[in-house]
Amino acid sequence: MTKPSNDKAQASPTKQFFVSMLTRDITLADAILDLVDNCLDGALRLADGEAVDYGRYFVKISISADRFLIEDNCGGIPRDVAKNYAFKMGREPEDDRDSESETIGMYGVGMKRAIFKMGRNALVRTRNGEDTFEVPITSEWLDAKNWDPLPINEPTEASENLDEPGTTIHVSDLYEGVARHFANPAFVNEVATAISQHFTMFLQWGFKIELNDQRVAPVHVDVLVSPREDGPAPYVFRKTINDVTVSITVGLNTSRRAEGEDDDDADFSGQRDSATAGWTVLCNDRAVIVGDKSRLTGWGDLPLVPLYHPQFSVITGIIEFRSKDAKKLPVTTTKRALDTSSEIWLESLVKMKEGMRVWISYTNDWKNHPRSDQQSYWQDAQPFSLSRAIEAVASRTTVKKTNVSDASGHASEVVEFNPRKNNVLPKPEEKKPSSKKIVFSRPAEEVRLVSKMLFDDPDEKPGTIGDECFKIQLAKANTKKRGE
Ligand SMILES: Nc1ncnc2c1ncn2[C@@H]1O[C@H](COP(=O)(O)OP(=O)(O)O)[C@@H](O)[C@H]1O
Ligand SMILES: [Mg+2]
């Protein structure tokens, strides 16, 4: 038995330890993206549940060897939020400000982490409504042993005001490595590319992001959809799992631009084509990954999906996770990597592979035929983003819609469309008479099992299943023959 004494053992973290741990696992570019996320969250909060008019908002980032500056007009930080939450390291459990909106901030570290990553002196100036104030984070505060609250200062001169509600964050006394990066044009380009990818949806909706006075253009990730009911269309799947809506489309990409779309006034142009082939993963409209061609997204998951190679550069898959509870999204805290062990990701991967199979078979079918033979079928197809593609396909009468309810009794609709099963994809002219016919029987249970694996549906037609099995083996044989 022990009894309490008057002595106490100190257990609070030192600032130095805290700051170095916090900033260790995030890259400099990702830290900057975190700051832009806050601006977008700000715009979303301003809209208060209504649709956001992103065309009204901007972010201007300026980086150089001696300082970092980010300015936005996204509503600013309300004083009580600044006093109680915004500058805390980590979110308070009672902070339920965003339970009704699809913001991405969740751990309450992004802004502080970005500042600490870059330098030893920072000034956050914000205007919310008519209320303007500043919060300095100084090297003296960083060096002090205690965790004193930060001062909130009022402006005394006109120059300390902001023209409109918004926030500016200025960081100086940059760390040496950071200063070197900021002075390097290659790093600036890297940040521009990261922005054009990660925020592509917002940029497409008119949100303006400038980096060192140059406008950043969105990268376009699209799939082709024919407006004809029987015309070629992408694979589509949508389901709500545990408060997260998963939307998937897999289709052919294109180098063509949709009409009326023009980013020519932008200086950092978004990439397209083969860079966006593979998988793009969106979480609450942020692209976490663009154009992934690795095991991560199912490529090379034999026997269903072969390794990525140039034959598949026409295939683009887009998957989106959307939730009002950002913690349920399968992303890591840096928001630019996937949490691939999450259940929702694993469940989605099954459908992603099903969609990939459609186009792997399609490109195999067409491999030895001139491209021009396909052209007429695709002529009227338009490049659509994920949401527009799903909308277009969901309006077809052949789309499969089922109502399901989950474990907690929430009802939702599952939307599914497989272009191969629906026979809307062009097929090359029938094989020469030198073809051979293969006929064989197998136990019904085994046929159902293989059908389930290949099509996630035990009841596919036996002929289709046999054909698919043969195609998978043939692709492997061809790969081997090519010596890959
Ligand atoms: N640019 C901004 N505009 C409006 N509010 C902001 C901005 N930057 C930060 N904030 C406020 O500061 C809070 C803390 O930001 P952050 O440290 O990134 O954590 P989180 O985004 O996870 O809440 C945000 O929740 C938000 O209320
Ligand atoms: Mg944040």
pLDDT, mean of residues 229-240: 96
Q: What does pTM read for this prediction?
A: 0.82
Asked whether the bond before 458 is cis by omega within 30 degrees of 0, the reply is no
Rounded to the nearest angstrom, the distance between the alpha carbon of 38 and the centre of ligand 2 is 5
Each residue of 446-479: b (16+ CB within 10 Å) or e?
ebbebbeebbbeeebeeeebbebeebbeebeeee
Atom of ligand 1 nearest to the CA of 166: 3
Whose CA is closest to 379, among 165, 251, 226, 252?
226
Q: CB 437: neighbour CB atoms within 10 A?
A: 4
Mean per-residue pLDDT, 387-406: 93
* Element at 391 (helix H, strand E): helix 386-394
Structure-model confidence comparison of residues 449 and 264, the more confident one: 449
Split at pLDDT 50, 70, 90, the class of 408 is confident
Give the ligand at the shortest distance from the Cα of 169.
1
Per DSSP (E only), the strands in 293-393 are: 315-322, 382-384
Give the distance (Å) from ligand 1 centre to CA of residue 344: 27
How many angstroms is it from 73 CA to the middle of ligand 1? 14
Q: Which ligand is nearest to the CA of 162?
A: 1
**Rounded to the nearest whole angstrom, what is the distance from the C-alpha of residue 360 to the centroid of ligand 2?**
39
Give residue 257's pLDDT: 38
- Cα 464 to ligand 2 centroid, rounded to whole Å: 49
When the pLDDT of each residue in the chain is averaged and rounded to a whole number, the result is 90
Between 2-6, 168-172, 380-384, 408-412, the lowest mean confidence (pLDDT) is in 408-412
Write the DSSP symbol of residue 153: B
Does ligand 1 have an atom closer than 6 angstroms to the CB of 112?
Answer: yes
Query: What's the pLDDT score for residue 27?
Result: 94
Residue 258: band (very low, low, confident or very high) from pLDDT cuts 50, 70, 90: very low
Q: Is the CB of 105 under 6 A from ligand 1?
A: yes
Nearest CA residue ID for atom 13, ligand 1: 86
Distances (CA, A) of 466 to 155, 159, 471, 478: 75, 75, 9, 18
Q: Which domains does the chain have, with CATH numbers?
A: 15-215 (3.30.565.10), 224-260+270-429 (no CATH), 430-484 (no CATH)
- From atom 5 of ligand 1, which residue's Cα is the shortest distance away? 77
pLDDT band, residue 31 (cuts 50/70/90): very high
pLDDT band of 430, cuts 50, 70, 90: low
What are the pLDDT digits (tens) for 114-130?
999 999 999 999 999 99
CB 38 near ligand 1, within 6 Å? yes
Q: Is the CB of 39 under 6 A from ligand 1?
A: yes
Assign 295 to helix, strand or coil. helix
Res 345: pLDDT: 95
Best CA proximity match to 34, nearest among 104, 81, 121: 104
Q: Are strands 315-322 and 278-283 parallel, antiparallel or unpaired?
A: parallel
Give the pLDDT of residue 74.
Answer: 97
With 70 as the cut, is the pLDDT of residue 394 above it?
A: yes
Task: Identify the pLDDT of residue 260.
Answer: 40
Q: Give the pLDDT confidence score for residue 335 in this predicted structure.
A: 74
Dihedral class, residue 90 (left if φ above 0, else alpha if ψ from -120 to 50, else beta): left
Using the predicted structure, report yes or no on whether residue 228 has a pLDDT greater than 60.
Answer: yes
Query: What is the pLDDT at residue 261?
Result: 44
**What is the predicted pLDDT for the residue at 411?**
85
344 with 241: CB under 8 angstroms?
A: yes
Instruction: Give the residue whose CA is nearest to atom 21 of ligand 1.
Output: 105
Bridge-based pairing of strands 214-215 and 208-211 is: antiparallel
pLDDT tens digits along 457-483: 999 999 999 999 999 999 999 888 887
Question: Residue 407 — very low, low, confident or very high, per pLDDT cuts 50/70/90?
Answer: confident
Residue 14: its pLDDT value, please?
85
167-176 burial by CB neighbour count: b if 16+ within 10 A, else e? bbbbbeebee
Please compute the mean of the pLDDT values over residues 176-198 and round it to a whole number.
97
Residue carrying the six token digits 């030895």: 368
- Give me the pLDDT at residue 48, please: 83
Give the amino acid at 286: R
Ligand 1 atom nearest residue 87's Cα: 14
Please, which residues have CB less than 5 A from ligand 2, an ion? 38, 105, 110
Q: What is the pLDDT of residues 336-374, one digit of tens each?
A: 889 888 999 999 999 999 999 999 999 999 988 887 888
Q: Is the pLDDT of residue 259 over 50?
A: no
Please report the atom of ligand 1 found closest to the CA of residue 169: 1
Q: What is the pLDDT of residue 375?
A: 86
- Give the mean pLDDT of 267-287: 78
Q: Compute the distance between CA of residue 206 and CA of residue 208 in angstroms, rounded to an integer.
A: 6
Give 268's pLDDT tier (boundaries 50, 70, 90): low
CA of 42 to the centre of ligand 2 (A): 10
Q: Is residue 262's pLDDT more than 70?
A: no
Average pLDDT over residues 55-79: 97
